[in-house]
Structure 1
């Protein structure tokens, strides 16, 4: 049985870097930490380590913004005919200038460990 998770994007029309580069930055952070995690190479990153890596990479990209990163981890158990539905809601709000600030959502799946990471990045122009 497969599970579909839909990510609805927020205000990403003014990203601080192109969308494909932002997705690559997130994936690179995830992949690097998964290999170099202090708990061992078979353990995927915890949220704090992943957030730290993403923020460090974003700060190197541009100092014109302040960044906020959020990671929601969804642990996916065995899905059967009885327990195949679940829902998860994570809302974030901010007060900003819509022409300079924004929000981007991205989903990473770790099918081997039955986890899904929902990553939200906010950028606020200084």
Structure 2
């Protein structure tokens, strides 16, 4: 199964990032636990969970990783090449992907990636009733 549209009809809440790699203008993220709503055109009308998938972000031109130790100011991330391992929120506005969540159980991290499109290849998908 491949998905490259309707990012907003997927939920990355509690999804795990297992690996991140970069080449040229692509960022490849190995993920598990992505929810795909039955409203998504690629779901065949079923709520799905991607247990194993790879999402590639295309035309990546800039990244920024932030760590929040309080609610006043952010600091530079200690491992910007792999800034989050558990996603709580994910958004895409057409030019920037924004992920936030945890790294090694420590809150709160943000990862901004300027990119133009995505492709999610789902290898292990199960239907869910919740």
TM-score by length of structure 2 reads 0.33
Name the structure where strand makes up a greater proportion of residues.
2
Max Rg structure: 1
Name the structure where helix makes up a greater proportion of residues.
1
